[in-house]
Structures are given as C-alpha cells and as structure tokens.
Structure 1
Amino acid sequence: MQNDMEKGDDEAAFLVEEIQRPLINTHESKGHPWMVYLTTFVAVCGSYEFGACAGYSSPTQSGITSELGLSTAQFSLFGSILTFGAMVGAITSGPIADFIGRKGAMRVYSAFCIAGWLAIYFAQGTVALDVGRLAGGYGMGAFSYVAPVYIAEIAPVELRGALTTLNQVMICTGVSVAFIIGIVLPWRVLALTGLIPCAVLILGLFFIPESPRWLAKRGAHKDFEVALQKLRGKDSDISHEATEIQDYIEELERLPKANIFDLFQKRYLRSMTIGVGLMVFQQFGGINGICFYVSNIFETAGFSPSIGTVIYALLQVVITAAGATLIDKAGRKPLLLVSAFGLVIGCLLTAIAFYLKAHHSSEKAAAILAVIGILVYISAFSVGMGAVPWVVMSEIFPINVKGAAGGLATLVNWFGAWIISYTFNFLMQWSSYGTFIIYAAINAAAIIFVIKVVPETKGRSLEEIQAAINT
C-alpha cells in the first residue's frame, strides 16, 4: 500500500511538472532584450568609427593636397598608412581584449581614434597627418576584432547572427556617410565628425555590462551572473545558460594557456582554417581594390564617378542591412554561397566590359556593363561575404584561444586588404579585364571552400559550435 501511495505521489508530481513546463519555458523565452540592443548599439559605434576612418581619405584628397601642398606620393602615404596601423591593431587587439576585458579594450581603442582625429584636425604638415592617420588605423583595426566578438558573446542564440552583422552594417554606414558629407564639409570639419561615435561609445560603456563569458573566464563568478542577468532581464531564468557557459569554461581551464603557436595544434586546426580562410577569400576577392578606386573604375568605364560612387555607397548600406535580417533565418552558409556566386558574376560582367572597351567594341554598352558589374559585385559582397566571415570568426574560436586566434585572423584580413589595394592599380595597368578574371577565379574558389569546409552555425550556442569544431 505504501508503494502504491509513493507511486501516486510520483505521478502527481510528474503531472504538476508537465503542466508547469510550458509556462516556465514561455516565461524563460521572453526575456528583456532591450539591454542586449543597447549594448550592441554602443559596441557598433566602434564599427561606425571603423567606417569613418576608412572613408575619410576619398572625399578629402583635393582639399588636403591643395591646402597643405602635398604631392600625390605624400597623400598616398597618408591614405595607405591607415592599413599599417590597422595591422598593428589587429595583432594587439586580441591579447588586450583578453587582458583588460572587452569594455576596457574599447575604451583604449576609442582614445587612439580620438587622438588620431585631433592630430589630423590640427595638422599643418605631413607628420601630424600621418601620425593621426596611423593612430586612427590602429583603433580601426582593433575595433574590427573586438566589436563583433563582444556582440557575439553577449547576444542570445536567436539574435546573435543579426546583431553581429550590424557590425558590418555600421562599417558600411560610416564609409557611406564620410563619402557623402565629405562632398560638402571641409576636411578638418570632417575629421571632427569622427569624434562623435567615440564620444557616444565612451559614454555608453558606463551603462552596459562586460561580456559574461570573459568574466567567467576570469573567475569573476558573481559578476558573471550579474552581467548575464542584466543582459537577459531580471525576470529571466539564466540558470541553464549560466551552467552551460560555466561548464565549458571549466573544461577549457583544464587546458594549458594558449599562445599563437598553439593555434596550429590539431584540435584548433579546423577553426583556424575556417576563420583565416574566410578572411583570405573576403579580401583577395578584390573588395578593397574596387572600394578604394571605385571612382576611377567608373571614370575609366565612361560613367559619372560622382553618381556611381553615391549609388555604390547607398547600395552597400541597404544590402548589408538586408543581409542582417536574413542571417538568422537563411543561415550563414547559404548567404556565403549566394554572395560568392554573385561576386563571380559581378567580376565576369566587369571583365567583359573592360574587354569590350580595350578592343574599342560597343563602348557605350561596355560602360553600362561595367556599372552593372560593379553594382552586382558590391550587392553580392554586402549580402554575405562582407559581414558573415566576421560573424563566423566571432563564433568558432574557443574562448581560451579567442584572443590569439581572432587577432591572427584579423591580421590576415588587414594584410590582404593592403595587398589588394596596393596591387590593384598595377594589375589594372597590366590588364583591366584580366584583373577581374583573377578576382572571379578567387571568388569561384571561395564557393568550393564554403561548401567543403565552413559549417552552419545558425541556432547553436557558442559552446556547442566550438565543441563540435574543436574536438
């Protein structure tokens, strides 16, 4: 009889649990994502700053060279030294973000950008200009790593892709705004506008939490739970997510501390191949050559460079924003494949246009075809290959190697940017249509790489992704 009573009690408890389960799950799933949105907004101010730095030199060339008497070579140094600063920023960004935290790192990088803009504003010669540009490049390169990583670490699974993609949306917005307002603002005033996102970021950092995953890794368990609760909402049950993060951190802590040479161990080889490979294909597909010299491309093709540049700038913002809404629905891998395929088409159309022009055949049709090719190219890049590699990079590296691995991937990205921007004019002099055939071949190789190597990470926690890739 006692066994029957115990059995009845167990059944009653089970019924109560089953009745309550949908209510509990519904309550947990609601959350209060406003803090996640605020935190993301503050972080992507660093992404906007990235874009403002990258877009500054294009509309200011005539103003700076005429006022300060710079030669073409001196201005070229001013423009290109940004990339060297970014490479240094990429090397140091991961270790600094791991040592002083994501928020502390963003404060440091903001200070570099502020110093850079002020040096440019007050410049009376090439030294101050170049030092300012170098400082801004350092901050820009560092932001390119820490902003997407921080967003990925604070975002819930169902929002992570879209929120991380906002990094690229804001970069494109920063570039486009610099292009457009640079037409009407003097170059010194345009430099001052670069201070605005830094000011918003520094102020916003006082109101947002540190990355819970970084706090857990540092052993600050109480602060970790407070930060996670603040991000998920005071009424949300964070126990499952907190346990998953803590268990994964504890597993990683049993491993020896990693340095850059440890990244090439077998357990990290796949994640390194994915992260670095995507950065290689993103840059060597030609984006920075086309972006830096888009006005010259339109002019060479016989199309208005000012109209073409404005269309180019607006289109990349709109398409990148559209990609942000699709990434958590369509997934990372489909967007990469669609993007790479579109890049091949855009390059081939542009190659055909320049071939026709080189052989003096249908020059009017060649101009139209070149414009269509470039716009197809930037649309395809913006929908996937521009943003998704940064999203995937922020997801695949375990937190114990994230600093070193992310820094290396970002360095590869900036090195590729420098190679492509430096060689573009030489390639165009060699063969305008041959240049775009080379880029088409590289983007075709990217399709194969994505199919064979890149996993789908949509809808999975960071711990699940990293455990699957790195075991």
Structure 2
Amino acid sequence: MGVNDHDVTVPLQTEQRAPVELKNFKDLKMFAEEETTTTSSSLRNSETESSKTARSVPEEIIFPEGRLTKCLAFSAVVIALASFQFGYHIGCVNAPGGLITEWIIGSHKDLFGKELTRENADLAWSVAVSVFAVGGMAGGLLSGWLADKVGRRGALFYNNILALAAAALMGLAKSVGAYPMIILGRLIIGFNCGLSSGLVPMYLTEISPVNLRGMLGSLPQLCVTIAILVSQIFGLPHLLGTEDRWPLILAFTVVPAVLQLSLLLLCPESPKYTMGVRGLKQEAENALKKLRGTDDVAAEIQAMEDEAAAVQGQAKPTMGDMFKGALLWPMSIAIMMMLAQQLSGINVAMFYSTVIFRGAGLTGNEPFYATIGMGAVNVIMTLISVWLVDHPKFGRRSLLLAGLTGMFFSTLLLVGALTLQNQGPDYKWASYSAIVLVLLFVISFATGPGAIPWFFVSEIFDSSARGSANSIAVMVNWAANLLVGLTFLPINNLLGQFSFFIFSGFLAFFIFYTWKFVPETKGKSIDQIQAEFEKRK
C-alpha cells in the first residue's frame, strides 16, 4: 500500500545554499522566520497570485528526527490493522474453495429447484471470489471523498461497520442455505478493503515524522501478508477447512473489525486533516503533541498551515485533468505500474495456490501445507523488502526490474515443471520443483512489485494532483485484480499449465516498459522526477 514520502513542497530559489542542520523544531521556526524576511522580495516576484500566502520549507533543510513515541506506534498499528481484512480475504477463499463449490450445487437446487452443473458452480464460485475486487474498485474511488467528509479516523470507524455486515452475511450463508449471501458479503468486504487501501496510507502519511514514514508506511503491507498466512492456517483440514466449519473462516472477519472499532477512539485524528480540512488549529496542535510526545510542535504546525495554504492556492486537478498535458505521462506510468502488479499473476498464486499445488502432484494435505509455506515466505520476504527499499545500494526502479524479471523466469520454468510432472511417475521430482518455483515467484513479487507501486504513485505527483492520481491508480489496480480473478480458472481449465504463459507475456512487456520509461524516484524532488520523465519520453 503506497505512502507519500514527499510531503514538503519546494519553493523557487535564486541561489544554491549549503544544507542547514536543525537540532529541534524551534530552530526550524527561527530559520523559517529569517527566510521570510530575507527572501520575501524574490518570492513575491516569482510566485503566482494564488500562492503568495504560502511559505514552504526548503528541500535542503535537514529535518530533526522524529521519535517513535508510544502514541505514534499505537496509532500506526491500530490504523494498519484495517489492512488485515484485505490480506485475509485474498487468502481465506483458497483452501475451502472446493468445499464451498460443492455446497453451492446443493444450495442452488434448494433455492431454485434446478440442478447446477459443476462448470456453472465453478463459475458461481469464481464470481464470489472476483466480486471482492468490484467492491474494491468502488471503495477506492470513494476513499478520498469519505476521508475529507468524516475524517480519516471517522471513515475507518464507519468502514468497520461494513465489515461486520459482511461477516454476518458470509458467516450465516450456510445456515440459511443461500449462497448469494456469500457473493453479497464478498462485495461488501471488497468495498471495505477498497476504502482501507486509500484511508490507511493517507492517515499513516499524515501522522508520521519524515524519517519514520518508510517504516510506518510498510505496516499495511506487512499486515496484508500476515493476514494471508493466518487465513491459510485456518483453512487446514484439521482446523476450519472442513465441510462443517468452513463458515467460521468467513465469519472471522468480525474479529479484526471489532478489535479496531474498540481501539480507534484511542487514536488521535490526523493533525493535517484537522488543520487543513477542518481548519481547527488548536485541535490539530493537541493531536500532534500526543503523537510527538512533546509540546514543541509550533514549527511543525506552522509548516502544516503553510502547506495547507499552498494547496488551497492551487487549482486541484480533476480525474479528467490527469489525462491531459503534463500530467498524462506520469499518470500513464502510474497505471502501468499498477497493471504490472496485478497482471503478473500474483493473485493467482494467492487465490488458487492449493489448486496449483494439487495440479503439481501433491496429494492429501500436502497442498495445504505448501500453501502455508508460501504464506510464511511472503511474510518473511516482506520484512526483508522494508530494508531493501531504503537501502542506499538499491532504488525503486532496480527493485522493480529485479522482481519482475524473477517472476518472468519463475512462470516460464513453472510451465516446464508442470508439463514434466504430467509425463508420469518418473518425473515426480518435477512437482517439487513446481513448488519451489511458486515460492520464488512470491519472493520476487515481494522484492519490489508488491509494495513499490502503491507509494510510487505518491512520489511522482505533487500534493495538488496526488489525490486524483491515487484514486485512478487504485481503481485500475482493483480492476486488474477483478480481471485476473474472474478469468484465470476458466482459462486454466482450458489451457492447463500453459495458462501461465499469459503472465509470462505480460511480465516480459512490463520488464521492458520499466527499463525504458520508469524513472528512479528515490531521494528525488518532484522537479527532478519530472525532469527524468522528460528524458524518458
């Protein structure tokens, strides 16, 4: 999930200056006052009428490092918990899929008095799996509007009410004997996850000190991978993956929802929302003092006021504007990065991993344990990727290329392994090679394509365009998610293991596109990134 790392705007400067190290926020305030006095004449000559009231902190300033206070850590963890639903509902449909499909056949006959063929039952289950993404598209588009309407924290509160409704529908579907309840529940929880995919990074960005944004911004993705693993464990046949207990897997949705509902009121509202949207300076200051663990927040409050003034002085681009003029090229790249993430085939591994492992020749409970191993690798590699993204030897572009390339070769070799194991018992070893290749596929995804596209969008747009850009990018991501989820099972039934060649083709294209057009954004200002865009057109 993407986090904005460029929250400070850069004013026009007339000369190069040495970096200014500030020991605390009081130094920052004194420096800002001095800058206003000494540079006001040049600023007046260079600024437009709409931005004369805004003052920003120069990029060369070395900000004082913020501390990970108890309030900040608690708030970040509680808010990131919303992302648990996203990961859980990616993985929870995996293990019990066969059981639920069999139940759908009987449920359809009870409801409509007609026998449902296995093919149509597979289609109904595929719709139930994929409608999750339809809700996600709608939720992602509305996340920005709802965040401004009721606040970041308030929006998450109402969002958990939706999760409770979804849990009731899905958990009671078998008792009622109505499989459409599962489809409706998946739609609602998808809407919940779409909202969270916009709300969670927004809140974390706005409460985090600059030096902690990377770490705190990685919490949602970590929650997603942990949730996938939890759902896979629950799906084990000796736990909840049985004919009688599978409804409990879906009903578990209620647990993280109730937990977050009970803890949200202990978290302060985003100071930037309170200041910038509601105009309540004192409330914003009180919230910031809690988060920072100090009363010395005057300079940061002043920076928020200046930032809010700068944004208000600009014409905010609409979604239509994102496909015009100078915004078209970065918007196109943002869309391609989201498509690269989903059309890589990663959700095939998550949605249908048990089917893949069974097709690889594993029997009994072996496919379920292999799926859990894949989930554990995903969690571990996500933890490592947090370090890789911020490592001085790596950049966004290099990690994207490495991850996409690893996924490309994994899919090619996976087709070969699955083909060999179908030749007979002499090629039993090929089934285990297929498992290793699926794990390598997941490792490659976590290296870069998993997390980078989410915050990459925030890095290549300024604050005035960031909201519209994120809404479009999130919608595209969920739309591609829907496409893959809805079409893979029928295509797999038709082509078998050769269906993975489709993902190989997409990956080859995205490797070339990333190498040719995607700029490096790590440590660069918006102006530098836009200059890089011009070079790569």
Please show how residues 406-445 of structure 1 align to structure 2 within 5 Å. 406-432=470-496, 434-445=498-509
Question: Counterpart in 2 of 1:43?
Answer: 79
The reply to whether residue 321 of structure 1 matches residue 383 of structure 2 is yes
Normalised by the length of structure 1, the TM-score is: 0.85
Question: Counterpart in 2 of 1:227?
Answer: 287
The reply to whether residue 168 of structure 1 matches residue 197 of structure 2 is no
- The verdict on how the C-alpha distance between 1:226 and 1:430 changes in structure 2, with shifts beyond 3 A counting, is same
The reply to whether residue 59 of structure 1 matches residue 123 of structure 2 is no
| 2:421–2:429 contact (8 Å) kept in structure 1 | no
- The verdict on how the C-alpha distance between 1:169 and 1:43 changes in structure 2, with shifts beyond 3 A counting, is same
Q: Which moved more, 1:86-95 or 1:435-444?
A: 435-444
Question: Counterpart in 2 of 1:99?
Answer: 149
Cα distance in structure 1, aligned partners of 2:426 and 2:205: 49
Cα distance in structure 2, aligned partners of 1:20 and 1:260: 41
| 1:395–1:465 contact (8 Å) kept in structure 2 | yes
Cα distance in structure 2, aligned partners of 1:255 and 1:309: 49
Residue 450 of structure 1: which of 506, 514, 533 is its match? 514
- The verdict on how the C-alpha distance between 1:396 and 1:105 changes in structure 2, with shifts beyond 3 A counting, is farther
Cα distance in structure 2, aligned partners of 1:438 and 1:280: 14
Cα distance in structure 2, aligned partners of 1:469 and 1:150: 26
Amino acid at match of 2:287: A
The reply to whether residue 251 of structure 1 matches residue 310 of structure 2 is yes
More helix by share: 1
Task: Report the CA distance between 1:396 and its aligned residue.
Answer: 4.0
Deviations 1:54-111 (A, max 9, x none): 2222233355456673462443333232222222222222222233222122122211
Structure 1 residues not aligned, in runs of 5+: 1-16
Cα distance in structure 2, aligned partners of 1:129 and 1:353: 35
Question: Counterpart in 1 of 2:11?
Answer: none
- The verdict on how the C-alpha distance between 1:343 and 1:27 changes in structure 2, with shifts beyond 3 A counting, is closer
Question: Counterpart in 1 of 2:5?
Answer: none
Structure 2 residues not aligned, in runs of 5+: 1-19, 29-61, 108-115
The reply to whether residue 75 of structure 1 matches residue 148 of structure 2 is no
| 2:82–2:196 contact (8 Å) kept in structure 1 | yes
Amino acid at match of 1:176: L
Amino acid at match of 1:57: V
Question: Counterpart in 1 of 2:166?
Answer: 116
Residue 312 of structure 1: which of 352, 374, 378 is its match? 374
User: Aligned residues: percent identity?
Assistant: 29
Question: Counterpart in 2 of 1:348?
Answer: 412
**Per the alignment, in what secondary structure is the counterpart of residue 234 of structure 1?**
coil
Cα distance in structure 2, aligned partners of 1:396 and 1:205: 31
**Per the alignment, in what secondary structure is the counterpart of residue 315 of structure 2?**
coil
Question: Counterpart in 1 of 2:50?
Answer: none
Cα distance in structure 2, aligned partners of 1:19 and 1:425: 57
Deviations 1:347-370 (A, max 9, x none): 122122234346669632432321
- The verdict on how the C-alpha distance between 1:247 and 1:453 changes in structure 2, with shifts beyond 3 A counting, is farther
**Per the alignment, in what secondary structure is the counterpart of residue 196 of structure 1?**
helix
- The verdict on how the C-alpha distance between 1:224 and 1:449 changes in structure 2, with shifts beyond 3 A counting, is farther
| 1:348–1:436 contact (8 Å) kept in structure 2 | yes
- The verdict on how the C-alpha distance between 1:337 and 1:226 changes in structure 2, with shifts beyond 3 A counting, is farther
Question: Counterpart in 2 of 1:136?
Answer: 189
Cα distance in structure 2, aligned partners of 1:128 and 1:92: 24
Normalised by the length of structure 2, the TM-score is: 0.75
Cα distance in structure 1, aligned partners of 2:27 and 2:315: 39
Amino acid at match of 2:293: G
Task: Report the CA distance between 1:255 and its aligned residue.
Answer: 2.2
Cα distance in structure 1, aligned partners of 2:424 and 2:389: 43
| 1:31–1:235 contact (8 Å) kept in structure 2 | no
Task: Report the CA distance between 1:188 and its aligned residue.
Answer: 3.1
The reply to whether residue 283 of structure 1 matches residue 333 of structure 2 is no
Question: Counterpart in 1 of 2:137?
Answer: 87
Deviations 1:362-404 (A, max 9, x none): 6324323211211100111123211221222344444444443
Task: Report the CA distance between 1:451 and its aligned residue.
Answer: 3.7
| 2:460–2:529 contact (8 Å) kept in structure 1 | no
Cα distance in structure 2, aligned partners of 1:320 and 1:78: 28
Q: Which moved more, 1:439-448 or 1:114-123?
A: 439-448
Deviations 1:420-460 (A, max 9, x none): 12222344345445433332332233333334444444457
Task: Report the CA distance between 1:159 and its aligned residue.
Answer: 2.1
Cα distance in structure 2, aligned partners of 1:137 and 1:145: 13
Question: Counterpart in 1 of 2:67?
Answer: 31
Cα distance in structure 1, aligned partners of 2:301 and 2:335: 30
Deviations 1:311-349 (A, max 9, x none): 112111111122123322344333323222221221122
Residue 298 of structure 1: which of 349, 357, 362 is its match? 357
Amino acid at match of 2:247: R
Q: Which moved more, 1:122-131 or 1:427-436?
A: 427-436
**Per the alignment, in what secondary structure is the counterpart of residue 163 of structure 1?**
helix
* Paired residue total: 451
Task: Report the CA distance between 1:158 and its aligned residue.
Answer: 2.2
- Root-mean-square deviation (CA), in Å? 3.2
Amino acid at match of 2:183: D
| 2:23–2:64 contact (8 Å) kept in structure 1 | no
Deviations 1:263-283 (A, max 9, x none): 223243344233322111000
